[in-house]
Structure 1
Amino acid sequence: MDKLKRMNTATVAVMDVRQQEALSPGAGTLELLDSRPDRLRYAAQVDKAGLAVFSEIHYPEGWVAEINGEELPIYRVNYLLRGLNLPEGAYEISMRFEPKSYFGTKTLLVIFQYVSVLLLLGALGVAFGQKQRRMPPKLLHIFPQASSFIQEDQAQLENYFEVLQDVRPWTDKRKAIGNFLGQGLFLLRRLAEVDYVLVQFAGYWSFLPTLLGKWYGKPVYIVLHGTDVAALPELGYGSLRIPLLRRAIHWSLKWATALFPVSSALVWTELHFDTRIQNRKQGLYAHFPDLLSPVAIIRQGVNTRFWAAPHQLPRQEKQFAAVMGPGQEYLKGLDFIGELAKQMPEYTFHIAGIAAEKHSSLPPNVYLLGRLDAEALRELYRCSGFYLQLSLFEGFGCALVEAMAAGCLPIVAQTMHLPHIIGESGYLLPYRTLYAWEALWKQIESEREAWGTLRQRAQNRAKTYFDSTLRGEYLQEAIRI
């Protein structure tokens, strides 16, 4: 880890020679063809045989790499990434998750299951003379509050499972004991009848499900959204800055069957957008480096069909939009937006989610709109020329994807997963300073003729990569593995 701080990991790789031989670097190109929780495919053009580093978490138990049916060893590189020693030539690389503990007994289990099913069907045929309909598997969905992205997950899960819910007011500390008792009784009563358990966010509410899931032999999965893998006391943000909650999360993550972070930044990241951030290393392995639970990144999704519905509203090129919730003002950059508004009095800044009466000192061209329903928020996106996501820490950025689907031109902080979300469809602010903004805005204004193309590109990117139906498909596949 110390060497990683002093080297350029784009050109140099570190390997543990105590566990594996040192390899010379290769040369060529790799293109990701398919990415799923349990398999990856790449097209390779290798000009010089040698080591290639893949931006995937190294997990030694179960992952198999092959080239044309021939298995290759997977090396641990740069502490947490995967590496392969590739031969020269053009070919396809596949990586599959095939834990031996599962596949070693799969054949016997399948034979036993088929014999059992045939016997059962024969008995039912004789007794009743008709086929019996198989019910969908049951899934218990646990979450602390019904946020819009959790409601979207709920809708997608109902396409594949019979879903039960357990929702309790965990944010109210006065009800903590009652929540634990109520959840414990609920799980003891209902856990035996479900096939899977999915928990949104790691927290106090994930402790009993993962513990009892072990006892009952039920697979329990945790979706990681951001605050559950962060500790930023200087921002007053992150569940891991609270000692008791950190312990509950740690045990939950250890006991979970698998973890589903909504972005790669939640696995490991370093924060450089704002110099006032002291605890720069964040993410799952930054806080729990010895964690062994399997990890599958399943990107968050939104209903892009709703946000991209046709409309006739004129777009205001001098209007910015942003979304943030109460208590997130500094984290989401409201004070910095106020500074931008002072520098750009001819532009208006419309902020959804924040009540006006709490921030009377902002410039007059900043409009705080309070909480908006989905239809009103969509109208805001449609009328705005630009969308600002200048967060100091952002687990994913659902509002950003919504705005892109509605045709806003995105301008985001160069931090976390935000650059990956916009790709080449918007602009990156490298640092949270007025100097950096002035340079970026000069570039944006000089490329005015490209705004329409960028907005169309943003819409297409949102639909292609971040639609909720795609997330639902990947989520159910990962749960059923």
Structure 2
Amino acid sequence: MSAVVQRDAVGELPAGVHPVRRPVAAGARRAAMAMAPLRGVDLVHALDVDLPVLTPALRVATVHDMSVFDVPEAYSRVRATGERALLRTSLGRADLLLAVSAFTAERVQALLGRTCVVTPLAPARWARVPDPEQVREVRARHGLPERFLLQVGTVEPRKDVALVAAAARELDVPLVLAGAGSTGPDAPAGSTGLGYVDVADLPALYRAATVVTYASRYEGFGLPPVEAMACGGAVVASAVGALPEVVHDGAVLVRRHTVDAWVAALRPLLADEPARQQLRERAVADAGLLSWRSTAAQTVAAYRNLGARL
């Protein structure tokens, strides 16, 4: 097995996987390099849509979302136009499409008329319930308040941190942000930004939070709330895209994207420790229904149905 990766990611490959190195690049240049011809392989699987041209191999592509079609306002006009063209070209060239959720599969069918096999994502290996000492250490090191809301991820309009901030002000509870932009000018006034947080700290951070929020406006899967659930976080998330499908009963879903709706969903959890504990227990159980072993087995079955000899 070989993997086409940028040079700075070679060290992250599992043992036994041969790297096919590409220069570090972004945007159109990266997409162009991903389409470079590949020879001497039986099957090529693009984990992020980009497929090589002029290859005799069976071609498989994983689709994570169709956001450039569904929420183009989240992108610049140039980027949205380019990515829509790339998606149409690559997905049209693929012999087999895999989608990370039934929601994404439905959007591919509606927009491009292609059928997908659904192979869900799963929490990362690090996403486990931390021990109490880890929680105490991370709480002290980051100077976290006794109770707080937490949202992890890039501060951008699609993640709507401003909505959570407004709900937090209404409830008079601190909001802590972690991730790109959380200490920048786009972070909501009154929030506490931690900046980039090492992955090793995330389980304890999710567990320390009174409630973990995820007020996204669109999700093709929704891995961050699922990973928060796997760490024993009490999660409240928007009922958009694939989120109802992937969180099951392990998170409280907010059906309306308004401050009042978010306040109504958060207030009972903030006030009721037994209710939070019950939600944490459901979260760990439901996140445990997803596994990379299962995803790998479903992927191999899809390869074989395509005709690959494995």
Take 2:247 and 2:35, find their aligned partners in 1: how far apart are those partners? 42
Instruction: Give the residue type in structure 1 aligned to 2:69.
Output: A
Matched, 1:321 2:178: no
SS in 1 for 2:74: coil
Shift of 1:263: 1.0
2:170 counterpart residue number: 343
Take 1:140 and 1:462, find their aligned partners in 2: how far apart are those partners? 28
Matches for 1:20-169 after TM superposition, within 5 Å: 138-141=1-4, 155=14, 162-165=17-20, 167=22, 169=24
1:301 counterpart residue number: 122
Take 2:100 and 2:78, find their aligned partners in 1: how far apart are those partners? 17
Matched, 1:235 2:74: yes
1:310 counterpart residue number: 131
SS in 2 for 1:391: coil
Q: 1:348 to 1:144 in 2, by over 3 A?
A: farther
1:212 counterpart residue number: 54
Out of 159, 169, 193, which is 1:332 matched to? 159
Take 2:66 and 2:196, find their aligned partners in 1: how far apart are those partners? 22
Q: 1:356 to 1:184 in 2, by over 3 A?
A: closer
Q: 1:144 to 1:460 in 2, by over 3 A?
A: farther
Q: 1:438 to 1:231 in 2, by over 3 A?
A: closer
1:375 counterpart residue number: 200
Q: Would you say the 8 A contact 1:262–1:300 is kept in 2?
A: yes
Q: 1:317 to 1:470 in 2, by over 3 A?
A: farther
2:142 counterpart residue number: none
SS in 1 for 2:148: strand
Shift of 1:309: 4.3
Relative contact order: is structure 1 or structure 2 higher (C-alpha 8 Å, sep ≥ 6)? 2
Instruction: Give the residue type in structure 1 aligned to 2:177.
Output: I
SS in 1 for 2:123: coil
2:296 counterpart residue number: 472
Greater fraction of residues in helix: 2
Matches for 1:195-274 after TM superposition, within 5 Å: 195-202=42-49, 205-206=50-51, 209=52, 211-213=53-55, 216=56, 218-227=57-66, 230-236=69-75, 241-242=80-81, 244-268=82-106
Count of residues in correspondence between the two structures: 295
Take 2:8 and 2:108, find their aligned partners in 1: how far apart are those partners? 22
Take 1:223 and 1:358, find their aligned partners in 2: how far apart are those partners? 33
Take 1:411 and 1:297, find their aligned partners in 2: how far apart are those partners? 25
Take 2:187 and 2:152, find their aligned partners in 1: how far apart are those partners? 19
SS in 2 for 1:234: helix
Matched, 1:428 2:253: yes
Matched, 1:171 2:171: no
Take 2:34 and 2:226, find their aligned partners in 1: how far apart are those partners? 34
Q: Would you say the 8 A contact 1:140–1:196 is kept in 2?
A: no
SS in 1 for 2:180: coil
Q: Would you say the 8 A contact 2:211–2:270 is kept in 1?
A: no
- Root-mean-square deviation (CA), in Å? 3.2
Instruction: Give the residue type in structure 2 aligned to 1:355.
Output: G
**Could you tell me the TM-score, scaled by structure 2's length?**
0.81
Greater fraction of residues in strand: 1
2:184 counterpart residue number: 358
**Could you tell me the TM-score, scaled by structure 1's length?**
0.54
Which residues of structure 2 form unaligned runs of 5+? Answer: 140-144, 306-310
Shift of 1:459: 0.7
Shift of 1:429: 0.8
Task: Summarize deviations over 1:19-78 as a string: whole Å, max 9, x none.
Answer: xxxxxxxxxxxxxxxxxxxxxxxxxxxxxxxxxxxxxxxxxxxxxxxxxxxxxxxxxxxx
Q: Would you say the 8 A contact 2:104–2:220 is kept in 1?
A: yes
Which residues of structure 1 form unaligned runs of 5+? Answer: 1-137, 269-282
Identity of matched residues, %: 20
